[in-house]
Amino acid sequence: MTQGKMGLTKQYLAYKPVSSFNIIASSRANISFISVNNVDGRYVVVAAAEKVIVWNMRIGEKVAEFTRDKQEVTFLRASPDHKHLAVGYADGVVEMFSFESKQSVCSFAAHRSAVSALNFDLLGLKLASGGLDNDVVVSDVVAQTGKCRLTGHSAPITQVCFMQRYHDVIVTSSKDTQIKFWNVETHCCFKTIVDHRTEVWGIVLMRNDDFLVCGSADTQLSVYRIAPNTEESKPIQATEEQLLVEESTVSPFRCTAIGSIQRAGHGRTINLVADGNGQVLGCHGTDKKIELFYFAPVDEAVKKLTKRMKKLNTKKSTDTETQTEVDVRQLSLTDEIKRLSPILTSDKVKSFDLLLGSRSELRICCTFVKNFIELFSLDMDVKKAEPVSLHSIHKQGHPSEARSVSFSSDNLAIASGSAESLKLWNRSSQTVLRTIDTSGYVVSTCFVPGDRHVLVGLKSGELLIVDIVAGDELERIEAHEKEIWSIVLTPDMHGCVTGGGDMTVKFWSFELIANPERPDLKVLSLLHKNTLKLEETVLCVKISANGKYIAVALLDTTVKIFFLDSHKFYLSLYGHKLPVLTMDISYDSSLIVTGSADRTIKIWGMDFGDCHRSLLAHDNTVTALQFIPNTHMFFSCGKDGKLKQWDADNFQKIVTLPGHLGEAHALAISPNGKYVVSCGSDRTLRLFHRTDEPLVLQDVQEEEREELENATLATGEESAVPGLPGLQLPSKKTIGSEKGAENILECLEVSKQYEQEGAKGPLPPLMFAYSATNTDDFLLTVLSRIRASDLEESLLLLPFSAVCELLERIPKLTITRKDQTELICKVVLFLFRVHQKPIVSNQVLLPVIQKIIHTLQEAICELRDMIGMNFHASQMLQRELEENDGCVLFRDATKLRVQRDRRRKRREASKRTLVNITK
């Protein structure tokens, strides 16, 4: 790595992340079908650690990626029009992405912990989110702000659903065993179901809100019928007390338990999923099975009931209307619900989604614990049809966590090993070149000189020689009796050394032997030369570059250094409190660095074994470290997931790179020092490359300090207002809201000072930076630049004196800037609602309030008249153009509404979405 001198300050080059790969689908978040270019049934969207990936299941390739900050994705939901994707993260933020631009449209800082449920309403205008903080937040997608926060559950939310038939009604389930019905307009819970004794893990509304199906910790699904709360729907044999209770309720419907569905699977219900129209229900438990149920339309259920009655020789009535009414009343769950063939999977299902096409083809896409996706198809018209597996994506990643990584000598290939396989990756494209089944747990890997073979050390003690070109295992050697924790090449590149859990270090040389199948060809093999026996388990082995020493890390927390040629003892490095798991020797054989489970890294001199410095490096066990070639700088990673760069000369930390979401297991640096790859428990391989951007240590330390300060809110977590102790805003306080409040206060102060000087002379620098020529434009620019979801929290942080000053400027703003009437109304209404008591009791503000009311009413009337005139003028122009040219130029909004209503009614009648599934 090139280094320069800039005065007395040492200059470094920055490493930047290239990409993360190996992960196909995270097990924490769900999977969802989406429509791309009006093609359904082919594309799915999944979470991959902190990224969101769109996969084309037919060709098994990535179509798009959505990324935010380094936070894990916990839930996904596509909007009904398939134009936007709502993504919930572990920090409680809900981000809205556009499928067209692949960019974030808006962000809702809704929850104080991870988002656990998301759902859109029928038109996609409202978004309900549930979190692990026990709250439900309803957000307005169009206005990009929160509408309300619903608090009442005493445990994390598991599912949130909008009702289609009853507007502004939300159904929520929670681990507190309760199901609640909420009215979004009144922010009240008007009905609670407390029938369950265990956690409710999922709820689904079926057949246009006719049924509510709930899954809990037992093997049964509870079914409730939802019926309008009218006089006709009252039970005939109801007591007077029941009628009084029914009349006193504010619920527009009745929700009565009508039975349960017995699941064939074992364990608790993990997921309940319905198709878009609520006709097919899927569920799975802790086993390898997805059960499917078909909810038949009313006419099909009546036919089935009639057939059943005929079999029972039931007398038929002559009056057909009476017969139909009796049949509907006598319908049972067996008539309305049909059990479909279950899907038997090869592994435990983590999540799945359903899509029902117009030709009765049901598609089921599943994600599994072992990091793969599979697409199934089921023809519902065929009796007793069995599900068929169409496509799967599994070769693009390891089924389990990668535990070992290494670079080839030409810097072009990366080898990674997991519990069952070895994969070779192309470094530039991050694609899989070869997959070799190892039939064992890989704990160490190493490229053989020439990069045609890889040595693989297994947990069982076997040493594998793998031919990369053929993708085959050449030889399996019983090298050690226990784990092979370390494989290193000798400096002369003629052999290798392995360290095992059987307390031995073995020396091997490379040999070419005749192929038993083809004697004319020779294949690589290993010849055992020598064995160094020790008194403790060997955890790591390293050889100095000058070929003089071999260092062995033992389980007794010491590092023993021996002469490589004679195997005689040279030095013992002791000082760690826990075993040394990783170490490396510098290129000039002058330094050895050790990383231990006691979270420290120690830098030692090779000459006398003296400890130069002990660094508290990570918050947890140090799992891997390696020197950058030809330098005294090294990288380390630990179980805290962080990847750090250090300078062994001045004992300084250079930079902390964005690491893994879980533990980091191993890292490798390319021979040219330009690339670093690491693997971790989040199942990702993360690649970093060295840029030409200079890095000054003091600047990096200052940036890290600022990030730490920004992570903690200066005003605290709670949104408190005097006189309003129970204030529950649909947003949470963020850094953006604090900065917004600071900008408003600064704007008011600068404007006041500028006006006191007579508003003459040069503009203040801040006004000039905002391109504002007067104080009114300055204030509106500051307000409009605050993110819509942060505006309320920013206004809430303002002191009352600033609120009064802001309100005094409103009348003039309303008159001069009528194009910003909506923003001004939003600010005024929120301030009035929050500071009602002090504003009303302040006599000085009375004329200001009267003026605000008068000017705002005029501005709103003018805006409404302008919109109405433009709307009707557009209609008139449309009619004239249609009469003259015979072509349609504008789409009438009212026609669209009528068409939408017709489509919805048709969908309710047919009970089948017209989805053309593409093969």
- Residue-wise pLDDT tens digits, 724-735: 656 778 888 788
Strand locations in 452-503 (E)? 453-458, 462-467, 472-478, 484-489, 495-500
Distance of CA 830 to the CA centre of its chain: 32
Cα distances from 88 to residues 8, 141, 255, 437, in angstroms, run 47, 14, 30, 36
Give the C-alpha separation, 523 to 474, whole Å: 8
Please tell me the distance from the alpha carbon of residue 45 to that of residue 773, in angstroms, as a whole number: 47
Q: Copy the structure tokens of residue 431.
A: 């694609």
Q: Which amino acid, one-letter code, is at 410?
A: D
Higher pLDDT, 902 or 776: 776
pLDDT tier, 639 (very low <50, low <70, confident <90, very high otherwise): very high
What is the CA 95 to chain-centroid distance, rounded? 10
Cβ atoms of 463 and 484 within 8 Å: the answer is: yes
pLDDT tens-digit readout, 876-891: 988 888 777 655 544 5
* Torsion on CA atoms 748, 751, 752, 754, rounded to nearest 10: 160
Tell me the sheet residues that pair with 17.
688
Give per-residue pLDDT as tens, 55-68. Answer: 999 999 999 999 98
> Measuring CA to CA, how many Å separate 494 from each of 197, 490, 511, 629?
68, 7, 9, 20
Beta-ladder partners of 150: 136
| 363, 370, 398, 407, 675 from 418: Cα distances, Å | 32, 12, 7, 16, 21
Please report, as a single letter, which amino acid is at residue 837: K
Please return the burial class of 470, using the count of CB atoms within 10 Å of its CB with bins 0-12, 13-18 and 19+: exposed
* Nearest Cα residue to 151 out of 741, 726, 808: 726
Surface-to-core class of residue 237, CB atoms within 10 Å of its CB (0-12 exposed, 13-18 middle, 19+ buried): exposed
Q: Name the least confident of 418-422, 426-430, 711-715.
A: 711-715
- In this predicted structure, the answer to whether residue 6 has a pLDDT above a threshold of 50 is no
- The DSSP 8-state label assigned to residue 468 in this structure reads T
At residue 130, the pLDDT reads: 95
Edge-first strand listing for the sheet containing 61-67: 32-36, 39-48, 51-56, 61-67
- Determine the pLDDT at residue 151: 92
Tell me which of 336-340, 412-416, 512-516, 826-830 is least confident: 512-516
Report DSSP letters for 707-775, one per residue: HHHHHS-TT-SS--BTTBTT---SS---HHHHHHHHHHHHHHHHHHHHHHTTS-SSPPHHHHHTT-SSH
Predicted confidence at residue 513, as pLDDT, reads: 85
Find the helix packing angle between 800-816 and 846-885, rounded to 10°.
Answer: 40
Looking at domain 412-699, which of 1.10.15.40, 3.40.50.1100, 3.40.50.2300, 2.130.10.10 is its CATH number? 2.130.10.10
Average pLDDT value for residue range 252-265: 88
pLDDT at 823 over 50: yes
% pLDDT > 70, the chain: 91
Q: What is the amino acid identity at position 378?
A: L
Measure the CA–CA gap between 663 and 580, rounded to whole angstroms: 17
pLDDT digit string, tens, across residues 553-577:
999 999 999 999 999 999 999 999 9
- Residue 7: pLDDT over 50: no
Q: How far is CA 27 from the centre of its chain?
A: 10
| Confidence check: pLDDT of 796 > 90 | no
Q: Please state, in angstroms and rounded to a whole number, the distance separating the CA atoms of residues 353 and 760.
A: 65
Give the end-to-end CA distance of the chain in Å, rounded to a whole number: 51
Closest of 22, 895, 853 to residue 421, by C-alpha: 22
Considering only CA atoms, which of 636, 548, 628 is closest in space to residue 587?
Answer: 628
Residue 702 has pLDDT above 50, yes or no: yes
pLDDT tens digits for range 596-626: 999 999 999 999 999 999 999 999 999 999 9
For the chain, the structural domain boundaries read: 412-699, 735-835
Q: Determine contact, residues 84/96, Cβ cutoff 8 Å.
A: yes
pLDDT for the residue 337: 87
Question: For residue 916, what pLDDT is reported?
Answer: 62
Alpha-carbon gap, residue 212 to 372, rounded angstroms: 31
Percent of the chain exceeding pLDDT 90 equals: 54
Q: What pLDDT, on a 0 to 100 scale, did the predictor assign at position 902? A: 76
CA distance 583 to 597: 12
State the average pLDDT for the chain: 87
* pLDDT of res. 363: 93
What is the mean pLDDT of the segment spanning 407-432? 94
| Structure confidence by residue, pLDDT tens digits, 106-159 | 999 889 899 999 999 998 999 999 999 999 999 999 988 889 999 999 999 999
Here the tokens at position 300 are 């099909």
Q: Bigger pLDDT: 719 or 13? A: 13
pLDDT given for residue 910 in this prediction: 53
Contacts of 13 (CB under 8 A, 6+ apart): 1, 2, 690, 691, 692, 693, 694, 695
What is the H or E stretch that residue 64 is in? strand 61-67
Residue 244 scores a pLDDT above 50: no
360: left (phi over 0), alpha (psi -120 to 50) or beta: left
What span, in angstroms and rounded, lies between the C-alpha atoms of 538 and 556?
10
Helix or strand holding residue 701 (H, E):
helix 697-711
